[in-house]
Structure 1
Amino acid sequence: MLGTEFHTGSPVWLDVASPDPDRTAAFYGAVFGWRFTSAGPDAGGYGYLQKDGATVAAVGRLTEQGARPAWMTYFRADDVQAAAGTVTSAGGTVRVAPMTMGEASMAQFTDPQGAQFAVLRSGQGLQRTSQDDSLVWVELHTGDPESAVGFYHRLFGWRSAEMKAPGMTYRVLSIAAGDQQEGSFGGVAPLQDSPQARWMPYFAVADVDATATAVQDNGGTVLMPPSDLPDVGRVAWLTDPTQAAFAVLKPNPRGTAQA
Structure 2
Amino acid sequence: MSNHLKINYLEIPAHDLEAVKSFFTQVFDWQFTDYGPDYCAFADSAGIDGGFYRSSQTSTVDQGSVLIVFYSEDLSATQDLIVSAGGKIHQQMFSFPGGQRFHFLDPCGNEFAVWSE
Q: Which TM-score bucket, shorter chain as reference?
A: 0.7 to 0.9
The alpha-carbon deviation at position 56 of structure 1 amounts to 3.8
Q: Corresponding residue for 1:121?
A: none
Contact 1:49-1:57 at 8 Å conserved across structures: yes
Aligned length: 117
Question: CA–CA distance in 1 between the matches of 2:112 and 2:52?
Answer: 14
2:20 counterpart of 1:31: no
2:110 counterpart of 1:244: yes
Percent of aligned pairs with the same amino acid: 21
Contact 2:30-2:46 at 8 Å conserved across structures: no
Distance 1:230 1:54, change over 3 A: closer
Q: Deviations over 1:3-23 (max 9, x none)?
A: x84443x43211221111011
2:95 counterpart of 1:228: yes
TM-score by length of 1: 0.40
Contact 1:18-1:59 at 8 Å conserved across structures: yes
The alpha-carbon deviation at position 51 of structure 1 amounts to 4.7
Letter in structure 2 aligned against 1:216: V
Q: Where is the helix percentage greater, Structure 1 or Structure 2?
A: 2
Question: CA–CA distance in 2 between the matches of 1:212 and 1:54?
Answer: 19
Could you tell me which runs of 5 or more consecutive residues in structure 1 were left unpaired when the two chains were aligned.
Answer: 72-140, 142-193, 253-259
2:14 counterpart of 1:21: no
The RMSD of aligned alpha carbons is 2.6
Letter in structure 2 aligned against 1:15: E
| Structure possessing the higher relative contact order (Cα contacts under 8 Å, 6 or more residues apart) | 2
Q: Which runs of 4+ in 1 moved over 6 A?
A: none
Q: Corresponding residue for 2:79?
A: 212
Q: Corresponding residue for 2:69?
A: 202
Could you tell me which runs of 5 or more consecutive residues in structure 2 were left unpaired when the two chains were aligned.
Answer: none
Q: Corresponding residue for 1:58?
A: 51
